[in-house]
Amino acid sequence: MVQQRKEPFVGTLLSFLIAGLGQFYAGDIGLGIVFIILGIFFAILDSTIIGLIIGIPGYLTIWLWSMIAAYNTCTKINQSIDQGIINQNQIQT
């Protein structure tokens, strides 16, 4: 299976819109599901007074972590594709 390049900006933007969506774009479905579930959990916590103390910082942490992880995953995919191209060129010469 040929892996396609992923734009880190697109992955980050998708995770900015919905935590975990950038992971789906990058192909890391498991982590995307975890981020979405945690995002929903912290959003539900926000509905209580005590939950606000934990919910808002928790959701912001998951949201930021999701954006960083999506960017890093897309970058790693692109690097592995680039290294494969370089290795093929070295073999041919």
pTM above 0.85, yes or no: no
d(C-alpha 90, C-alpha 28), whole Å:
30
Hey, where are the domains in the chain?
Answer: 8-85
Q: What is the pLDDT of residue 93?
A: 42
- Burial classification of residue 14, based on how many CB atoms lie within 10 Å of its CB (0-12 exposed, 13-18 middle, 19 or more buried): buried
pLDDT digits (tens, 9 = 90+) for 21-53: 999 999 999 999 999 999 999 888 888 887 788
Task: Give the count of alpha carbons within 13 A of 33, CB side only.
Answer: 4
pLDDT-based confidence at 14, cuts 50/70/90?
very high
DSSP secondary structure letters along 3-33: PPP--HHHHHHHHHHSTTHHHHHHT-HHHHH
User: Going by C-beta distance under 8 Å and a sequence separation of 6 or more, which residues neighbour residue 50?
Assistant: none
